[in-house]
Amino acid sequence: MKDQQLVQAAFKLVQAADKMADANLPEKLADIVKLHAKIAVGGAVLPIPGADIAVTATNIWTMYARINKGLDLPFSENVVKSVAAGFVTNLGVGLIAFLVAASAVKAVPGLGWLGGAALMAGTIYGLTIAAGIVYMNAIARLLEKKSASSIGEQDIKTAVKEEMKDQDALRATIKAAGEEHKKDNGKK
């Protein structure tokens, strides 16, 4: 499911950006998202409560920057950071509370950090996949209406927020990607 959604979002973005000269670009963009999802899982292992969430937010904005670079989109680093922060803060109270609680488990002496990491791994992987899909769909929607040079920070924030309106679908994407990650790694 996640690969199909990723490639569809990437293809839509490449088409909207009028970058169809490189037939492999949608796969390259999907691979960027998958790589950053794996990096996010690595960040979940950090033993310091809260550091994992900070690493996830930084990882997401870095992913957005790499997607932009792959398409030669001229969005500034500040815009990308702002949009990534907006994505994380608009996730919904339940998901944020879960991530904070899982991160806090790491403070329990002994193997608490391992338990917290195990709780977070699938969710943080799915969250990063969903962030990539949301971002690519939002930018594609904007590029269908405007040139890249005329898109501003508020346009991107609004488009991402619009993509995130269906919180149930977003949670379903996060959950499905997280379950696929666990399955791919031999966990049940």
pTM of the model: 0.82
100: containing domain: 2-184
Give yes or no for residue 93 having a pLDDT over 60. no
Arithmetic mean of pLDDT over the chain: 79
Q: Is the pLDDT of residue 158 over 80?
A: yes
Those residues with Cβ within 8 angstroms of residue 159's Cβ, 6 or more apart along the chain or in another chain: 138, 139, 141, 142
Give dist(CA 162, CA 123) in Å, integer: 22
Q: Is the pLDDT of residue 188 over 50?
A: no
pLDDT of 36: 94
Q: Provide the number of structural domains found in the chain.
A: 1
Tens-digit pLDDT profile for residues 53-82: 788 888 888 999 899 888 888 777 777 777
- What are phi and psi for residue 90, nearest 5 degrees? -95, 10
Mean pLDDT across 12-39: 83
User: Which structure tokens are listed for 77?
Assistant: 């680093």
